[in-house]
């Protein structure tokens, strides 16, 4: 996997990301391997998410979900970092087509578990969306 984190390598990997389980799991494992750079990973994820085509953004959310689910046993670094960027990412996908909206709402349901587990409860990622829930 390589021991040195390079944001440009992540940019290249994110450009090739698709919604297949293999694509998501492979990149998720790479990101988790670089957990000590969680802040840089998530900042890069966020920049690339917002510059990616709309049809690829759901794959980015699936990647975030896989990283969150599989990294929490090793630490909370990714949870804290993703919570800074996921509300805006969810908003972008929810405002898209109905398929993306439904998938984003389903993911938010999974992520609400993280909110409950966090010591400083911050509420749902979708607080403030009102009728979307």
Residue 34 vs residue 120, higher pLDDT: 34
Integer Cα distance of 47 and 118 in angstroms: 25
The Cα–Cα gap between 81 and 85 comes to 7
**Where in the chain are the domains?**
7-126
Token pair belonging to 66: 């896989």
pLDDT for 93 equals: 86
Please tell me the pTM assigned to this model. 0.82
CATH class held by domain 7-126: mainly alpha
Q: In this predicted model, what pLDDT tens digit does every residue of 95-130 receive, in sequence order?
A: 878 888 888 888 877 776 555 444 444 445 555 544
The three-state (H, E, C) secondary structure of 55-113, written as one string = HHHHHHHHHHHHHHHHHCCCCCHHHHHHHHHHHHHHHHHHCCCHHHHHHHHHHHHHHHH
Share of the chain above pLDDT 90, in %: 51
> How far out from the chain centre does Cα 7 lie?
16
Per-residue pLDDT tens digits for 36-56: 999 999 999 999 999 999 889
Residue 64: predicted pLDDT: 95
| Nearest of 11, 26, 106 to residue 58 by alpha carbon | 106
């Amino acid at each position: 996997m390589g021991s040195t984190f390079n944001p440009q390598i992540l940019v290249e990997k994110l450009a090739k990301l698709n919604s297949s389980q293999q694509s998501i799991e492979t990149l998720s494992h790479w990101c988790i391997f670089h957990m000590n750079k969680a802040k840089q990973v998530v900042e890069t994820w966020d920049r690339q998410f917002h510059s990616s085509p709309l049809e690829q953004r759901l794959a980015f959310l699936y990647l975030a979900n896989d990283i969150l689910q599989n990294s929490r046993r090793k630490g909370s670094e990714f949870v804290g970092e993703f919570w800074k960027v996921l509300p805006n990412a969810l908003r972008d996908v929810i405002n898209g087509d109905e398929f993306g909206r439904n998938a984003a709402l389903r993911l938010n349901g999974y992520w609400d578990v993280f909110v409950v587990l966090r010591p400083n409860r911050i509420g749902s990622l979708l607080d403030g969306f009102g009728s979307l829930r």
